[in-house]
A and B are shown apart, each in its own frame.
Chain A
Amino acid sequence: MAVTLPRPQAPAAPAQAAPEYGTLPAYHGFVSWLTTVDHKRIGILYGSTAFAFFLLGGLEALMIRIQLATPGSTFVSPDAFNQLFTMHGTTMIFLFVMPMSVAFFNYIVPLQIGAPDVAFPRLNAFSYWTFLFGGIFMNLSYFFDGMPDGGWFGYAPLTTIQFSPSHRIDFWMLSLQILGVASLAGAFNFLVTIINMRAPGMSLMRMPVFTWNTLITSFLLVFAFPAITVALILLMFDRLYGTNFYYAPNGGDPLLWQHLFWIFGHPEVYILILPAMGMVSEILPVFSKKPLFGYPFVVYATVAIGFIGFGVWSHHMFTTGLGPIANSFFAASTMLIAVPTGVKIFNWMGTMYGGAIRFTTPMLFAIGFVSMFTIGGLTGVMHAIVPVDMQHQDSYFVVAHFHYVLFGGAFFGIMGGIYFWWSKFTGRMLDEKLGKWVFWLVFAGFNLTFGPMHFLGVDGMPRRVYTYGANQGWSGWFGMDWLGWNMVVTIGAFIIMVGMLIFIYSAFKALRGPKDAPTDPWDGATLEWSLPSPPPVYNFAVAPVVRSRDAFWAWKRRPQAVEAGENVATLQVGGHTVGHAEFEEEHPSEEYLAQERNAYYADPATFHIPNPSFFPIIAAFGLTCLAAGMIFGYALSIAGFLYLIVAIGGWAMEPTS
């Protein structure tokens, strides 16, 4: 017999209308998108742009797979292929997964912690525009010397001026610096937001796991990005000013590049996966109808992964001849990091165990994440065994491993997040039937694409090769040159494409429909589900007082259960302990709750909504010109610098209310 839980009602219209943005041209229409500082709009911008880059990266992947389906193919030239795999990796990592994660950070985190916006709305906008311009700048290389072709990891000395004399690598190097500024600015913003702007009662251990993962990812960004910034600066100085940091004949050491790059690069892969893990940690409990199993352990495990993640970087360098002591150390640390990862996987399974599992599309993607990420994790442990890595490194086995964790992991998590929160962003639901088609096609296509790559790797096929011989054993089933695992992989890639085309169709179909999605279609556990879809510009009219984890479930189910043993004495507001005399603990009465709502209700007409501003986009443009001038001439750099200074000056002087 079903028990009906009290459902939240739609918010009553406040007595005075919430403030509109005003009447200046900056506030309406297309221009309002250029000047927006609203975290929700910026989230939409990030998400749409990231998805567009995903399609670009996917196209690059399909071209790679057409070329590699058969031996000796001439579909693309060797030069074009090398640009394709470089751009595929760079695009997917820096222009898709990272910004798509930031899209979710932007939209969801302030809602989950009960905040009106992020800590620095204009900095937020600046992050987005810098990302957009950086991504465009990198792709502009197509119209000049050609796209970067040094691999996404850009190993010196191949990327030094001696071996890559054209401007391709300059575009790559400068774009990454621009994108780094965007990522860092975003990381600072989310850290301050999460540390400082939580609703009353939301201690760190009551935060949703997605918010926790945002916090840890942001710390990883803050500490990892400077390493690649320096690596790229040294490369820039070598290429532009004749220094010798990576030039071996004059004493430079290519290993320096690898160390600096991977000190960034390994935390980077955790930056890529942690947000998706956070999404999965939100989705699984909702569709199992029970809380996340072992919340503190999931949090501690994630923190541990963040820390240990800085101590494993040389496992990307096992074949460079670091010596047995270094190799043993990094083998051990890499194996160590499997432990907290396993803890999380078991806790996700524990969440579903004993639950009442509903197989909606977001849940399918989340389950797919758990399953596929486990496989990727197992092959990762294989690579940690250094002698085994001597056979696996730089082969398709590694390509299989990281696609299982990045596609089967991060991408599945992101798709789950898109399906889960779509109605909150847009006010419409995505079609569930089409969603199941999307999932199963993508799931099947994904496994068909990346599963056989394990076999190709064991069969000795190296990576980053534009072609291979018919006699090398990577094709030629039943005496037919063209048939083999490579052909299967290519077919799988096209199946993924079909699945994603259905997704795009389903998204457009939803967006054309009326905004009729329920506020809380899934019986969500966290605060964003208490708001209308999409939320008003000011987010919360009533600052939610949080007494437990899964604050919205607690609120909905307050007659039945409130988290026992929550220590209300630690309630902090404004940095001062308010003390538990302030708030009735454990089982507040309806009357008490009504009083509290009055205390925390504010008339939306009085809300201070940050003004839109032109300065973030101007600053972002100036920064991009500054970088571009390193290729096109210092006049452009000077102009860019001036734009930047003017924008920063205007930004500093601009009134915020």
Chain B
Amino acid sequence: MSIAHDVHSAPAPAHGGGHGDHHGPGPLDGKWSAPVGHALPTSTGLDNRKLLMWLFLASDCMFFGSLIGTFMVYKGRSTVGPSPHEIFDIPYTSVSAFVLLMSSLTMVLALAAIQRNDQPRLRIWLITTALLGSVFIGGQYYEFTTFYSENLTLQHSLFGSSLFTLTGFHGAHVTIGIFWLLYMTAMSWTGRLNSEQPLFIEIAGLYWHFVDIVWIVIFTVVYLLP
């Protein structure tokens, strides 16, 4: 604070060394700034960027909630067109849902790998996750071209509008995730590591699991519920 103050030759260490058993970083260790590569201590102990991802996911929850709500409001209110039970191929979509679910498993394995600093394994699992995600997207692409050929389009009916908008935005989220995973794979491959890599993988994992959970909800509400 604004007080007259003599600067000594070096800032005094944090309140005596006697309490050497205090856990983790002490009161700033006499420095307001953190050494390069270390984050400042936070009030909760949670990293700022991880907290940011959680908050972003909270808003994304509301986002998908509104889209899912729209779909549910319009269920059964289309004036034309193929109805859900006529056009859905539940077994097919179940398989692609399973694929996405497995990709969450591989994401967890990727995180486990980086936590033991196993870069090769990390890359394998990241690529697998991206691959599984791509299979999911490919499956959706095929499914939607089938729908289009059977006259269910974005414009055709409320069912088409709400279905494609909802699943389209979900697919966009998955696609962004795939690119993100590939980017992290590339960083690992080219040796551009930094000590915060486990944190970044974890954050990406949060995003990826969220996208998967949203799909579980969409699959249930859109495909499974009558």
Asked if A188 and B31 make an inter-chain contact with CB atoms under 8 angstroms apart, the answer reads: no
- Tell me how far the C-beta of A110 lies from the nearest C-beta in chain B, rounded to whole angstroms: 13
B225 CB–A CB distance under 8 Å: no
Q: Which of B3-11, B103-111, B123-131 contacts A (4 or more CB under 8 A)?
A: B3-11
Q: Which of B86-94, B150-158, B201-209 contacts A (4 or more CB under 8 A)?
A: B150-158
Asked if A599 and B154 make an inter-chain contact with CB atoms under 8 angstroms apart, the answer reads: no
Asked if B46 and A575 make an inter-chain contact with CB atoms under 8 angstroms apart, the answer reads: yes
The 9 tightest CB contacts between A and B, nearest first, are A575-B45, A574-B41, A602-B32, A230-B66, A226-B62, A226-B63, A608-B33, A243-B161, A196-B42
Give the docked Cα–Cα distance between A53 and B23 (Å): 50
Asked if A245 and B32 make an inter-chain contact with CB atoms under 8 angstroms apart, the answer reads: no
A interface residue count range (under 10 / 10 to 19 / 20 to 34 / 35 or more):
35 or more
Q: A601-B7, A602-B28, A657-B36 provided; 17 other pairs, C-beta below 8 A?
A: A8-B1, A12-B5, A14-B7, A198-B43, A222-B62, A227-B66, A243-B165, A244-B161, A245-B70, A250-B158, A256-B70, A519-B2, A530-B1, A582-B27, A599-B13, A601-B5, A603-B7
Give the docked Cα–Cα distance between A554 and B55 (Å): 34
13 inter-chain pairs at a CB distance below 8 angstroms, sorted by A residue, are A119-B52, A188-B52, A192-B48, A197-B48, A222-B58, A226-B62, A242-B155, A243-B154, A243-B155, A244-B155, A253-B73, A607-B33, A608-B36
A597 CB–B CB distance under 8 Å: yes
Classify the interface of chain B: helix, strand, loop or mixed.
loop
A561 CB–B CB distance under 8 Å: no
Q: Which of A241-275 contact B (CB under 8 A)?
A: 241-245, 250-253, 256, 260, 263
Q: Which of A30-38, A382-390, A537-545 contacts B (4 or more CB under 8 A)?
A: A537-545
B217 CB–A CB distance under 8 Å: no
Asked if B55 and A191 make an inter-chain contact with CB atoms under 8 angstroms apart, the answer reads: yes
Contact pick for A596, options B15, B19, B60, B67, CB 8 Å: B15
Give the docked Cα–Cα distance between A357 and B161 (Å): 61
Give the docked Cα–Cα distance between A184 and B1 (Å): 33
Number of contacting residues on B, CB 8 A? 61
A residues whose Cβ falls under 8 Å from a Cβ of B: 8-12, 14-15, 116, 119-120, 184, 187-188, 191-192, 195-198, 200, 202, 222-227, 229-231, 233-234, 237, 241-245, 250-253, 256, 260, 263, 519, 527, 530-532, 538, 540-544, 555, 572-576, 578-579, 581-582, 595-603, 606-608, 657
Asked if A574 and B25 make an inter-chain contact with CB atoms under 8 angstroms apart, the answer reads: yes
Asked if A9 and B43 make an inter-chain contact with CB atoms under 8 angstroms apart, the answer reads: no
B74 CB–A CB distance under 8 Å: yes
Could you say which residues of chain A place their CB within 8 Å of the CB of B8? 598
- Tell me how far the C-beta of B207 lies from the nearest C-beta in chain A, rounded to whole angstroms: 14
B20 CB–A CB distance under 8 Å: no
Chain B 35-49, CB-CB to A under 8 Å as 1, else 0, gives 010001111111010
Asked if B165 and A237 make an inter-chain contact with CB atoms under 8 angstroms apart, the answer reads: yes
Complex: chain B residue closest to A13, CB-CB: B7
Give the docked Cα–Cα distance between A530 and B58 (Å): 36
